[in-house]
């Protein structure tokens, strides 16, 4: 008898053993046995995705106090620990085998050394706890996009969240070919007191890409714990690198054009910069809001949503601006709220929800009252900035019917957007694939937000909105994008957007709803329905086309003044940006493809020449 089987027979009850062995895959048995040996759980629960098992997970999350039930029987609230309410970039580390180097942009550690830390931290971490073993699939089952994932965790909240966010995969695992590549996730929140991981100073995520395994320790925030979300994305980027496809931090949506035409777009925005709200813009349909795989299938770029749910920022969700999400959050669809406030009548409240602030309740700091301060004398808001909701996509009125299409959807356009107060125009199309990859994707910058730990509002290099998750050297990642486009006859159009331009007084100069018009314009451009103005940095819209779109979709009189201020080409800022980006790549990315610098330098020359001939701040009419 194998050693793994010995361990499993000792640790598992007969029912759980039977459930596990029904998956005839020795590497699965071994992974579970090794996790048991290391974490030493009191009990092990194998979830086979039956209603009984998934209900048990939800019930136990409540029974153990990981989730608090609300008045609506389908709603619960989870609080992360005090120190743990956003992604922890600093403690997320790639374990790199001897002789390999992922480059300066990525946090890494020698693999042997890292694995020792993992062994020490996880040793006995599930003492007195129950281990849950779950099986999922990234992407639609039995499709060219599918990646099977085993998740082991001692958090019933994590296991419950994944149930809403991912495609269940127990039966899929039972029919899996022996040699199918699997991703392995092992998480422990460690010891908890009042739902705070007591060893939070020893928290972290370690990515052992050599073995397709990610360890998450002493942490609870979903972005650090949910294996199928950002932990698997890092492994997927490596798999995509080996297999010539792209694993991206992108939404996937259909923009509805004239005569019921649906054109699919992916969009990459750093967290907290409008990714989910763009994918939910009224009058269009959503496939996914966070993670997209893109593959070339039958000579076309096709894409699928990796997930089947949303872990979205709840701050500022209002009935007026976000009616679809609002309705779901007020329905009987299963929902986990995290880091919101629970009122006396057991309803959730979040910041900027369009109502008067609450007079009291329970939040991540315990009993909350107006004016409550923390240890540093700072006022504690009634809900956290990065409070979230977790839902399945199924209840959304605007869900696109292609969610489970095995071949994915054909991509017409790719959008890159960041939080940029003074440089990019609201929407612009690149000259071609390479120009878009270099000057839009690879040159993206954005101000930091509360979705990651650390200060907000600082301009940071955010290439492809994926820098936090890129797991191969950045230059190689860019080369892969360039090659991907060269491998298809018809590449998607590439666009940049910017919702965050401000005037001199610091006021935003476009409205929250304007993104609807930018989307419709991009949709028309994909089909060549409208002309555009060629500027040194790309194609921008013609005023009359936007005026018509504003009238038609927002019933708004769009003035030429608004257009002129939004679409002014700001040459000094654009030049400064090129200098910043060029310098980052020259200093820190030794494997940057040469063509990257060529394209950037050409753009600089065009800008300098235009500045010389026409001036620094140019209205679109200067180019028309
Ligand atoms: C993001 O921060 O990009 C998210 C949420 O989508 S997290 O799960 O934290 O990654
Ligand atoms: Mn994200």
Nearest residue (CA) to ligand 1, atom 1: 271
Please state, as a whole number, how many other Cβ atoms lie within 10 Å of the Cβ of residue 624. 11
Instruction: Report the nearest atom of ligand 1 relative to the CA of 271.
Output: 3
Q: What is the CATH number of the domain that holds 574?
A: 3.90.228.20
Same domain, 49 and 141: yes
3-state secondary structure of 141: coil
Does the residue 184 lie in any domain? yes
pLDDT at 334 over 80: yes
CB 70 within 8 A of CB 348: yes
Distance CA 215, CA 231 (A): 9
| Most informative mutation of 274, 290, 419 for ligand 1 (most atoms within 8 A of CB) | 290
pLDDT in tens, 579-610: 999 999 999 999 999 999 999 999 999 999 99
Assigned domain for 433 exists: yes
Q: Is the pLDDT of residue 1 over 70?
A: no
Ligand showing the shortest atom-to-Cα distance for residue 271: 1
Q: Which atom of ligand 1 is nearest to the CA of 451?
A: 2
Which residue minimizes the CA distance to atom 9 of ligand 1?
223
Query: Which of the ligands is closest to the CA of residue 272?
Result: 1
Q: Which atom of ligand 1 is nearest to the CA of 468?
A: 3
Residues 114-128 as b or e (16 or more Cβ within 10 Å = b): bbebbeebbeebbee
CA of 597 to the centre of ligand 1 (A): 31
Q: Which of 85, 161, 311 to mutate to test the pocket of ligand 1 (most atoms within 8 A of CB)?
A: 311
Ligand 1 atom nearest the C-alpha of 388 is: 5
pLDDT over 70 (residue 558):
yes
Residue 168: pLDDT band with limits 50, 70, 90: very high
Domain containing residue 320: 311-395
Specify whether 256 is located in the same domain as 371: no
- Supply φ then ψ for residue 72, to 5 degrees: -75, 120
417 occurs within a structural domain? yes
Nearest-CA neighbor of 549 among 312, 281, 248, 300?
281
**531 lies in the same domain as 498:** yes
Q: Which of 209, 13, 208, 199 is nearest to 122 (CA)?
A: 199
| pLDDT of 99 strictly over 90 | yes
Query: What integer pLDDT is reported at residue 196 of this predicted model?
Result: 79
- Pocket of ligand 1 from Cβ distances under 6 Å: 87, 222-223, 229-230, 271, 290, 311, 451
- Report pLDDT for 353: 97
Compute the mean pLDDT over every residue in the chain, rounded to the nearest whole number: 96
Indicate if 437 and 491 belong to the same structural domain. yes
86 pLDDT tier (thresholds 50, 70, 90): confident
The answer to whether residue 562 is domain-embedded is yes
pLDDT in tens, 358-368: 999 999 999 99
Q: Is residue 593 in some structural domain?
A: yes
Looking up residue 227, the CATH number of its domain turns out to be 3.40.449.10
Same-domain pairing of 284 and 149: no
Residue 333 and residue 411 in one domain:
no
| pLDDT category of residue 451 using cuts at 50, 70 and 90 | low
What are the CB-based long-range contacts (under 8 Å, 24+) for 450-457?
A: 450/86, 450/272, 450/384, 450/385, 450/386, 451/86, 451/87, 451/223, 451/270, 451/271, 451/272, 451/313, 451/386, 452/86, 452/87, 452/88, 452/89, 452/271, 453/86, 453/87, 453/88, 453/89, 453/90, 454/89
137 among known catalytic residues: no
Query: Is residue 81 predicted with pLDDT exceeding 90?
Result: no
- In the reported structure, the alpha carbon of residue 271 is separated from the centroid of ligand 2 by a whole-number distance in angstroms of 5
As a whole number of angstroms, the distance between CA 199 and CA 540 comes to 52
C-alpha of residue 499 to centroid of ligand 2, in Å: 18
Q: Is the pLDDT of residue 449 over 80?
A: no
Instruction: Check: CB of residue 344 under 8 Å from CB of residue 361.
Output: yes
| pLDDT score, position 421 | 94
Find the 60 Cα to ligand 1 centroid distance in Å: 25
Residue 80 lies in a domain: no
Sequence-ordered list of residues with C-beta below 8 angstroms from that of 243, at least 6 positions apart, any chain: none
**What Å distances lie between residue 410 and 292, 414, 417, 519, CA to CA?**
12, 11, 21, 17
**Which pLDDT score, from 0 to 100, does residue 457 have?**
82
The catalytic residue among 39, 137, 273, 493 is 273
Same domain for 367 and 218, yes or no, is no
Q: Is residue 93 part of a domain?
A: yes
The tens digit of pLDDT for each residue in 16-67 reads 999 999 999 999 999 999 999 999 999 999 999 999 999 999 999 999 999 9
Distance of CA 268 from the midpoint of ligand 2 (Å): 9
Q: Which of 395, 427, 444 is the last residue of a domain?
A: 395
Q: Which atom of ligand 1 is nearest to the CA of 270?
A: 3
> How far apart, in whole angstroms, are the C-alpha atoms of residue 219 and residue 196?
9
* Same structural domain, 219 and 139: yes
What is the mean pLDDT of the segment spanning 268-291? 94
Last residue of a domain, one of 378, 395, 412: 395
Residues 206 and 255 in one domain: no
Same domain? 426 vs 376: no
Dump pLDDT digits (tens) for 403-419.
Answer: 999 999 999 999 999 99
> What SS3 class is residue 265?
strand
What residue owns the CA closest to ligand 1's atom 5? 223
- Between CA 256 and CA 519 the distance in angstroms is 9
Ligand 1 pocket check: which of 166, 220, 229, 305 to mutate, most ligand atoms within 8 Å of Cβ? 229
Interior angle at CA 594, CA 588 and CA 597, nearest 5: 70
**Pick from 38, 41, 35: which is nearest to 13 by CA?**
41
Tell me whether residue 78 is in a domain: no
Give the tens place of pLDDT for each residue, 179-217. Answer: 999 999 999 999 888 777 888 888 999 999 999 999 999
Q: What is the DSSP letter of 144?
A: T
Q: Whose CA is nearest to atom 7 of ligand 1?
A: 223
For ligand 1, the distance from its centroid to the CA atom of residue 603, given in whole angstroms, is: 33
Taking residues 111-116, report their average pLDDT.
98
Give buried/exposed letters for 222-254 (b at 16+ CB in 10 A, else e).
bbbbbbbbbbbbbbbbbbbbeeebbbbbbbbbb
Average pLDDT over residues 139-167: 98
> In the predicted model, what is the mean pLDDT of residues 489-510?
96
Q: Is residue 263 over pLDDT 60? A: yes
Q: How many domains are contained in the chain?
A: 3
The answer on 281 and 389 residing in a single domain is: no
Residue of the nearest CA to atom 4 in ligand 1?
271
Q: Does the global pTM surpass 0.85?
A: yes
- Give the Å distance between the CA of 453 and the centre of ligand 2: 14
> Do 235 and 254 fall into the same domain?
no
């Amino acid at each position: 008898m194998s050693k793994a089987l010995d361990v499993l027979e000792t640790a598992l009850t007969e029912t759980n053993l039977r459930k596990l062995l029904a998956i005839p895959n020795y590497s699965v048995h071994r992974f579970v046995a090794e996790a048991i040996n290391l974490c030493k759980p009191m009990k092990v629960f194998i979830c086979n995705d039956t209603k009984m098992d998934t209900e048990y997970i939800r019930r136990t999350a409540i029974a153990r106090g990981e989730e608090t039930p609300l008045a609506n029987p389908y709603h619960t609230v989870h609080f992360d620990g005090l120190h743990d309410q956003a992604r922890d970039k600093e403690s997320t580390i790639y374990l790199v085998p001897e002789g390999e180097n992922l480059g300066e942009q990525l946090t890494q550690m020698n693999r042997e050394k890292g694995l020792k830390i993992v062994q020490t931290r996880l040793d006995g971490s599930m003492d007195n706890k129950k281990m849950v073993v779950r099986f999922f699939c990234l992407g639609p089952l039995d499709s060219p996009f599918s990646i099977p994932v085993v998740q082991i965790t001692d958090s019933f909240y994590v296991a419950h969240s994944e149930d809403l966010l991912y495609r269940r995969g127990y039966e899929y695992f039972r029919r899996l070919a022996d040699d199918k590549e699997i991703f392995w996730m092992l998480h422990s929140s460690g010891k908890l007191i009042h739902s705070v991981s007591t060893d939070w100073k020893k928290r972290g995520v370690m990515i052992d890409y050599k073995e397709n395994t990610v360890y998450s320790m002493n942490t609870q925030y979903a972005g650090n714990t949910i294996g199928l979300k950002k932990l698997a994305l890092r492994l997927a980027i490596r798999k995509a690198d080996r297999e010539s496809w792209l694993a991206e931090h992108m939404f996937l949506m259909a923009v509805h054009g004239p005569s019921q035409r649906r054109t699919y777009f992916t969009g990459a925005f750093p967290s907290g910069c409008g990714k989910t709200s763009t994918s939910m813009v009224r009058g269009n349909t959503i496939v996914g809001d966070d993670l997209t795989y893109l593959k070339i299938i039958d000579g076309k770029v096709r894409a699928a949503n990796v997930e089947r749910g949303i872990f979205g920022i709840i701050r500022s969700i209002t009935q007026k601006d976000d009616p679809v999400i609002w309705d779901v959050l007020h329905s009987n669809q299963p929902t986990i709220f995290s880091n919101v406030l629970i009122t006396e009548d057991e309803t959730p409240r979040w910041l900027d929800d369009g109502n008067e602030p609450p007079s009291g309740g329970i939040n991540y700091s315990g009993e909350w009252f107006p004016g409550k301060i923390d240890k540093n004398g700072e006022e504690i808001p009634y809900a956290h900035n990065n409070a979230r909701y977790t839902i399945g996509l199924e209840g959304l009125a605007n869900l696109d019917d292609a969610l489970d299409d095995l071949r994915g959807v054909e991509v017409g356009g790719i959008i890159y957007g960041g939080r940029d107060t003074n440089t990019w125009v609201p929407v612009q199309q690149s000259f071609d694939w390479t120009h878009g990859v270099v000057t839009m994707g690879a040159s993206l910058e954005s101000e930091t937000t509360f979705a990651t730990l650390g200060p907000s509002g600082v301009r940071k290099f955010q290439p492809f909105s994926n820098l936090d998750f890129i797991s191969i050297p950045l230059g190689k990642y860019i080369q892969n994008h360039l090659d991907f486009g060269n491998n298809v006859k018809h590449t998607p159009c590439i666009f940049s957007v910017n919702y965050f331009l401000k005037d001199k007084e610091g006021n935003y100069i476009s409205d929250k709803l304007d993104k609807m018009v930018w989307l419709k314009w991009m949709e028309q451009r994909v089909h060549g329905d409208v002309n555009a103005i060629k500027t040194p940095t790309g194609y921008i819209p013609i005023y009359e086309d936007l005026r018509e779109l504003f009238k038609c979709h927002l019933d708004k009189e769009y003035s030429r003044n608004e257009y002129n201020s939004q679409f002014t080409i700001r040459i000094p800022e654009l030049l400064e940006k090129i200098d910043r980006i060029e310098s980052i790549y020259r200093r820190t990315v030794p494997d940057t493809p040469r063509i990257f610098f060529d394209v950037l330098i050409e753009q600089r020359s065009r800008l300098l020449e235009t500045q010389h001939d026409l001036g620094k701040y140019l209205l679109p009419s200067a180019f028309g």
